[in-house]
């Protein structure tokens, strides 16, 4: 048993035993491509080999005839998992060197032998690369010097026997695969810990002989755009992938007629026609865009290898759609070929390349897209600005898990330190936030709250900058932007995803701008409009504060009457934008004290605005302060304590509905009660809202419908869902608060120890990011089951941050949810992830 299998059309070769490369080569052979004789060694044999059990090489090598030269390439199950580099010209020795000098000329013989000695010395004998890599020009002196260096370093003659050479090459590749670094690298690409390596031994096509010889690569698609175009290079008298690294002034034949030089199309027209044909065969029969590695030996074409064209996310999507459009793959398969997490790269604004760029810092482009905002130096400041709907850019030396919420709040992140896998980079990519890390040419002074650039300019807290995460640069001011170009292919793929999926996707959107984005991304409606967010601007804030500070019911009513038209206008705008699509409006939730000003200055301004003595305002603000506001007077508790607020909101919703219905869009608003923990809360609020609806119907003389629902954010609401569901049309799980309350973990403070918890394996992940299936998930499942039993027609959904995460979507789908709702930019990800689950 040699462990080797000759790759023939009918040989029992499989990707999961011999690796992707071996399987691909078999496919090329089946398509009648001129692939040199190839032998595949399976995973088991390679594992045995690493442990010292060498297969019978002599028996295998007889298949290659006398004095063969062979190459060895890795063949992992998934080519993306990588593997050791290819080794060429195994079998070269002094005798063959002399023969080749005769038959192929001195230059070719020198090039081949030198290349082999160098590669063997560095990758197999593990000698110092500096000793060997300096020699570039293949002369006979260089060959002699390399052999002497080898002998001096190893005290052994350079091995002359192909069996010995091959054994060492195979052993070193098998061991390299077992090494810790290689293992970590492939695991980072998703390979399982026990991923196997196969090896392929292939007869060399030399590419360096007399006559027209050389090697090259060709592909038929652009790996950046996904557009069909022929790309690649061919280098005369070369081997392997030399053509890709050769300077243009060497004897490079451009693949197509090119003003810069001769074309392979002119020089080797038959080989060219064959290459085009093979490219086409790969596309139609292997159903993929492949890069073909080929060698021409004295005008005879050999196909050595073909691999999936390396591509970015945009090109990947474009290629998948084009293959489906051409009928080569099914639409569902095109959908499956695009990972949902690859979409954020396509979804973000970019700095207009035509606009002026005033670069103030350079770093590593860690997460694509661009955003403009005010500089903030702390997560707390980012959250404060975000709460006022102000865009900000979080600037830190580096981020830590404590910065998570600040990153959520910021539009982009810039760090002085860190690399592509630093905390900031990883988290920003996950959030789809533009991010630049390692911008070491700027200096941050946290005390002075300044950012100093290399040219000496100083930027302060609050100054406007633009972060270009695609280019890895920070720019002064608000740079001109281009909105994301979602393009035909994007829209088409997502429409196919929509046809396949069986769970709805809505967006969380509070502002008209968010709602427009939600529509742009084809959300089926708004699943959560947080109404308190509509009040964080100057005029409205004052009206709110007047309402909060009113001592008497009449005063409060008067203040609410001022607020009501503003709310009505908000809802008219949201309904108009959403044009008949469902809009879920959450009634006021925020703890009232969050509307109070902070610090003496703020209180004084408020006292002025309200024309009240400062002492009065301070006393009331003090009286309103709670020890634990997140568990205090918020949500429905406020709704029951100050019922005029919900009355006002309900009226604003119904009046807006009537106004918009007049323009022809049938709106059925969904009113959602937050922070429910008892059924009676729902009954009381429902009775009042019904009364407001009845009053508006009479006043306006118009009939309309609305749906009332409950936001399940407390464990009790989940457990009592069977009792609550009969009173409402829908239940939406607010998993942010539900996670907070299930764990008893403050969503605003957990960052302080979350890193330690995750590092020590107490929690596998931050449960505010990744839905905790075991605990919070169980509440979801229990609640969903009880709600459905009590009210089979109840609509179930999730609207916490987890709603856009593919794993949470899978969980909700399995629990029978009707839809998920997430921030607008995550809507396409959710649509695609949902389709992946259904296909
Ligand atoms: C939630 O709690 O999950 C939710 C969506 O509401 P908020 O984040 O506004 O508390
Ligand atoms: Mg909540």
Q: Is the pLDDT of residue 248 over 60?
A: no
Q: Is the pLDDT of residue 223 over 60?
A: yes
Predicted TM-score of the model (pTM) = 0.81
For ligand 1, is residue 369 a contact (CB within 6 Å)?
A: no
**Of 361 and 298, more confident:** 361
Domain locations in the chain? 4-203, 214-311, 350-482, 501-533+561-591+633-838
Q: Nearest residue CA, atom 1 of ligand 1?
A: 734
Q: Per the structure block, which two tokens stand in for 759? A: 């590092």
* Closest ligand to Cα 508: 1
Q: What angle do CA 68, 70, 72 make, to 5 degrees?
A: 160
Work out which ligand 1 atom sits closest to the CA atom of 528.
Answer: 5
Work out which ligand 1 atom sits closest to the CA atom of 674.
Answer: 6
Residue 445's CB is within 10 A of a number of other CB atoms, namely 11
The confidence band for 250, taking pLDDT boundaries of 50, 70 and 90, is: low
For ligand 1, is residue 737 a contact (CB within 6 Å)?
A: yes
Find the 733 Cα to ligand 2 centroid distance in Å.
9
When pLDDT is averaged across residues 173-181 and rounded to a whole number, the result is: 89
Of 52-61, 162-171, 232-241, the one with minimum mean pLDDT is 232-241
Work out which ligand 1 atom sits closest to the CA atom of 733.
Answer: 3
Nearest to 178 by CA among 191, 157, 194, 192: 194
Q: Backbone phi, then psi, for 625, in 5-degree steps?
A: -65, 135
When pLDDT is averaged across residues 367-374 and rounded to a whole number, the result is: 91
For ligand 1, is residue 713 a contact (CB within 6 Å)?
A: yes
Nearest to 87 by CA among 217, 236, 200: 200
For ligand 1, is residue 736 a contact (CB within 6 Å)?
A: yes
Find the 160 Cα to ligand 1 centroid distance in Å.
71
When pLDDT is averaged across residues 334-354 and rounded to a whole number, the result is: 85
CB 500 within 8 A of CB 832: no
Q: According to the 3-state scheme, what is the secondary structure of 334-347? A: HHHCCCHHHHHHHC
The reply to whether 462 sits in an annotated binding site is: no
Q: Nearest residue CA, atom 3 of ligand 1?
A: 734
Of 41-45, 182-186, 203-207, the one with minimum mean pLDDT is 182-186
Q: What does the alpha-carbon distance between residue 759 and residue 778 come to, in Å, rounded to a whole number? A: 24
For ligand 1, is residue 414 a contact (CB within 6 Å)?
A: no
Residue 570 CB partners (closer than 8 Å, separation 6+): 531, 534, 652, 656
Q: What does the alpha-carbon distance between residue 682 and residue 669 come to, in Å, rounded to a whole number? A: 17
When pLDDT is averaged across residues 805-826 and rounded to a whole number, the result is: 94
587-635 pLDDT tens trace: 999 777 777 777 788 788 888 877 888 898 888 888 888 888 888 989 9
Nearest to 45 by CA among 15, 89, 10, 5: 5
Q: Is the pLDDT of residue 51 over 70?
A: yes
Q: What does the alpha-carbon distance between residue 711 and residue 363 come to, in Å, rounded to a whole number? A: 43
Predicted pLDDT of residue 731: 98
379-413 pLDDT tens trace: 889 988 887 878 999 999 988 766 777 888 899 99
CB 504 within 8 A of CB 809: no
The reply to whether 736 sits in an annotated binding site is: yes
Find the 669 Cα to ligand 2 centroid distance in Å.
20
Q: Backbone phi, then psi, for 763, in 5-degree steps?
A: -110, 140
Sheet containing 412-415, strands listed edge to edge, beginning at the edge strand earlier in sequence: 359-362, 473-476, 464-468, 370-376, 392-396, 412-415, 435-437, 364-367
Nearest to 631 by CA among 730, 547, 715: 715
Q: Where are the beta strands (DSSP E) in 588-674?
A: 670-673
Q: Is the pLDDT of residue 15 over 70?
A: yes
CATH classification for the domain delimited by 4-203, as one of 3.30.1490.20, 3.40.50.280, 3.40.50.2300, 3.40.50.720: 3.30.1490.20
The reply to whether 735 sits in an annotated binding site is: yes
Find the 717 Cα to ligand 1 centroid distance in Å.
14
Q: Backbone phi, then psi, for 71, in 5-degree steps?
A: -115, 160
When pLDDT is averaged across residues 536-551 and rounded to a whole number, the result is: 76
The position carrying tokens 């482009």 is 365
The reply to whether 163 sits in an annotated binding site is: no
Which residues carry out catalysis? 423, 799
Find the 736 Cα to ligand 2 centroid distance in Å.
6
When pLDDT is averaged across residues 735-759 and rounded to a whole number, the result is: 86
Predicted pLDDT of residue 245: 65
Find the 820 Cα to ligand 2 centroid distance in Å.
15
Q: Which fold has domain 214-311?
A: D-amino Acid Aminotransferase; Chain A, domain 1 (3.30.470)
Q: How crowded is the C-beta side of 761, counted as CA atoms within 13 Å?
A: 0
Find the 655 Cα to ligand 2 centroid distance in Å.
26
Percentages helix, strand, coil for the chain, rounded to the nearest 5?
Answer: 50, 20, 35
Q: Nearest residue CA, atom 6 of ligand 1?
A: 734
CB 700 within 8 A of CB 761: no
Predicted pLDDT of residue 1: 44
The confidence band for 688, taking pLDDT boundaries of 50, 70 and 90, is: very high
For ligand 1, is residue 799 a contact (CB within 6 Å)?
A: yes
DSSP labels for 134-190? T--S--HHHHHHHHHHHHHHHSSPPP--HHHHHHHHHHHHHHHHHSHHHHHHHHHTT
The confidence band for 258, taking pLDDT boundaries of 50, 70 and 90, is: low
Q: Per the structure block, which two tokens stand in for 461? A: 């807290």
CA distances from 597 to 407, 600, 616 (A): 24, 8, 14
Find the 548 Cα to ligand 2 centroid distance in Å.
21
Q: What does the alpha-carbon distance between residue 576 and residue 568 come to, in Å, rounded to a whole number? A: 12
Measured between its terminal Cα atoms, the distance across the chain in Å is 42
Ligand 1 pocket test, candidate residues 587, 711, 717, 822, most atoms within 8 A of CB: 711
Work out which ligand 1 atom sits closest to the CA atom of 735.
Answer: 3
When pLDDT is averaged across residues 53-67 and rounded to a whole number, the result is: 92
DSSP state letter for 258: B
The confidence band for 113, taking pLDDT boundaries of 50, 70 and 90, is: very high
Of 60-74, 173-187, 313-327, 560-574, the one with minimum mean pLDDT is 173-187
Nearest to 189 by CA among 292, 83, 289: 83
Q: Does domain 350-482 have CATH number 3.40.50.150?
A: no
For ligand 1, is residue 532 a contact (CB within 6 Å)?
A: no
For residue 232, the Cα-to-chain-centroid distance in whole angstroms is 28
The reply to whether 530 sits in an annotated binding site is: yes
The confidence band for 319, taking pLDDT boundaries of 50, 70 and 90, is: very high
For residue 421, the Cα-to-chain-centroid distance in whole angstroms is 13
> What CATH number labels 501-533+561-591+633-838?
3.20.20.60
When pLDDT is averaged across residues 349-373 and rounded to a whole number, the result is: 87
Q: Nearest residue CA, atom 9 of ligand 1?
A: 530
For ligand 1, is residue 308 a contact (CB within 6 Å)?
A: no
Q: Is the pLDDT of residue 686 over 90?
A: yes
574-596 pLDDT tens trace: 999 998 899 999 999 977 777 77
The reply to whether 316 sits in an annotated binding site is: no
Pairing of strands 450-452, 443-445: antiparallel
Q: Is the pLDDT of residue 815 over 70?
A: yes
The confidence band for 537, taking pLDDT boundaries of 50, 70 and 90, is: low
Q: Per the structure block, which two tokens stand in for 637? A: 């508790």
Predicted pLDDT of residue 421: 56
The position carrying tokens 């491509």 is 33
For ligand 1, is residue 800 a contact (CB within 6 Å)?
A: yes
**Of 828 and 313, more confident:** 828
CB 621 within 8 A of CB 588: no
CB 671 within 8 A of CB 709: yes
Q: Is the pLDDT of residue 224 over 70?
A: yes
Q: What does the alpha-carbon distance between residue 617 and residue 613 come to, in Å, rounded to a whole number? A: 7
Share of the chain above pLDDT 70, in %: 95
Q: How crowded is the C-beta side of 697, counted as CA atoms within 13 Å?
A: 10
The reply to whether 586 sits in an annotated binding site is: yes
Ligand 1 pocket test, candidate residues 531, 677, 799, 826, most atoms within 8 A of CB: 799
Ligand 1 pocket test, candidate residues 800, 804, 820, most atoms within 8 A of CB: 800
The confidence band for 420, taking pLDDT boundaries of 50, 70 and 90, is: low
**Of 2 and 585, more confident:** 585
CB 373 within 8 A of CB 391: yes
Q: Per the structure block, which two tokens stand in for 328? A: 């080569």
């Amino acid at each position: 048993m040699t462990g080797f299998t000759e790759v023939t059309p009918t040989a029992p070769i499989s990707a999961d035993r011999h690796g992707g490369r071996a399987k691909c080569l078999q496919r090329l052979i089946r398509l009648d491509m001129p692939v040199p004789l190839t032998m595949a060694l399976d995973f088991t044999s390679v594992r045995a080999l690493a442990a010292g059990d060498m297969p019978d090489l002599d028996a295998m090598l007889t298949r290659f005839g006398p004095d063969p030269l062979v190459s060895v390439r890795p063949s992992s199950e998934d080519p993306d998992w990588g593997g050791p580099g290819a080794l060429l010209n195994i079998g070269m020795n002094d005798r063959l060197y002399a023969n080749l000098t005769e038959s192929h000329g001195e230059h070719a013989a020198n090039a081949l032998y030198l290349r082999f000695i160098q590669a063997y010395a560095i990758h197999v004998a593990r000698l110092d690369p500096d000793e060997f890599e300096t020699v570039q020009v293949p002369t006979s002196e260089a060959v002699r010097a390399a052999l002497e260096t080898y002998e001096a370093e190893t005290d052994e003659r350079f091995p002359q026997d192909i069996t010995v050479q091959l054994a060492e090459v195979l052993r070193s590749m098998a061991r390299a695969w077992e090494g810790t670094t290689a293992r970590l690298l492939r695991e980072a690409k998703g390979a399982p810990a026990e991923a196997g390596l196969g090896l392929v031994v292939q007869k060399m096509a030399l590419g360096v002989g007399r006559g027209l010889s050389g090697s090259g690569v060709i592909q038929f698609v652009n790996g950046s755009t996904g557009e069909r175009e022929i790309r690649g290079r061919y280098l005369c008298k070369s081997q392997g992938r030399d053509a890709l690294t050769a300077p243009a002034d060497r004897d490079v034949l451009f693949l197509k007629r090119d003003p810069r030089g001769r074309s392979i199309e002119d020089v080797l027209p038959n080989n060219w026609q064959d290459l085009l044909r093979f490219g086409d065969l790969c596309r139609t029969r292997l159903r993929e865009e492949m890069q073909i590695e080929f060698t021409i030996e004295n005008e005879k074409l050999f196909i050595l290898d073909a691999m999936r064209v390396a591509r970015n996310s945009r090109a990947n999507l474009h290629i998948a759609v084009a293959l489906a459009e051409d009928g080569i793959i099914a639409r569902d398969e095109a959908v499956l070929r695009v990972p949902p997490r690859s979409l954020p790269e396509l979804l973000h604004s970019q700095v207009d390349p035509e606009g002026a760029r005033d670069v103030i810092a350079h770093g590593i482009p860690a997460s694509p897209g661009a955003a403009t905002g005010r500089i903030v130096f702390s997560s707390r400041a980012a959250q404060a600005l975000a709460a006022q709907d102000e865009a900000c850019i979080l600037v830190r030396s580096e981020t830590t898990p404590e910065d998570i919420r600040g990153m959520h709040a910021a539009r982009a992140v810039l760090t002085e330190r860190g690399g592509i896998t630093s905390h900031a980079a990883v988290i920003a990519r996950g959030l789809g936030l533009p991010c630049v890390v390692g911008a070491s040419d700027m200096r941050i002074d946290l005390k002075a709250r300044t950012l100093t650039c290399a040219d000496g300019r100083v930027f302060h807290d609050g100054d406007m900058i633009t972060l270009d995460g695609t280019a890895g640069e920070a720019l002064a001011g608000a740079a001109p932007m281009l909105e994301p170009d979602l393009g035909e292919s994007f829209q088409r793929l997502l429409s196919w995803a929509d046809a396949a999926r069986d769970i709805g996707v809505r967006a969380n959107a509070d502002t008209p701008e968010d709602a427009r984005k939600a529509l742009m991304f084809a959300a089926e409606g708004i699943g959560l409009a947080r109404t308190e967010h509509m009040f964080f601007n100057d005029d409205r804030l004052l009206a709110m504060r007047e309402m909060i500070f009113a001592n008497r019911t009449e005063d409060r009513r008067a203040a609410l009457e001022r607020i009501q038209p503003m709310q009505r206008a908000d809802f008219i705008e949201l309904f108009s934008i959403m044009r008949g699509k469902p809009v879920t409006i959450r009634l006021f939730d925020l703890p009232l004290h969050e509307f109070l000003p902070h610090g003496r200055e703020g209180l004084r301004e408020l006292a002025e605005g309200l024309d009240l003595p400062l002492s009065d305002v301070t006393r009331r603000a003090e009286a309103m302060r709670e020890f634990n506001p997140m568990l205090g007077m918020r949500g429905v508790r406020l709704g029951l304590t100050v019922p005029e607020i919900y009355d006002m909101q309900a009226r604003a919703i119904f009046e807006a509905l009537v106004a918009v219905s007049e323009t022809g869009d049938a709106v059925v608003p969904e009113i959602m009660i937050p922070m429910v923990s008892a059924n009676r809360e729902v009954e009381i609020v429902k009775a009042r809202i019904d009364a407001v609806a009845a009053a508006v119907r009479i006043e306006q003389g118009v009939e309309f419908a609305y749906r009332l629902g409950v936001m399940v954010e407390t464990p009790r609401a989940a457990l009592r869902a069977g009792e609550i569901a009969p009173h409402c049309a829908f239940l939406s799980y607010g998993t942010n608060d539900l996670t907070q309350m299930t764990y008893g973990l403050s969503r605003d403070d957990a960052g302080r120890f979350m890193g330690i918890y995750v590092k020590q394996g107490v929690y596998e992940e931050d449960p505010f990011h990744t839905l905790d299936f075991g605990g919070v998930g169980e509440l979801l499942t229990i609640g969903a089951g009880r709600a459905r039993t009590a009210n089979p027609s109840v609509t179930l959904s999730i609207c916490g941050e987890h709603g856009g995460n593919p794993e949470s979507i899978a969980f909700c789908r399995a629990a029978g949810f009707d839809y998920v709702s997430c921030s607008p930019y995550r809507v396409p990800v959710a649509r695609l992830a949902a389709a992946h689950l259904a296909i």
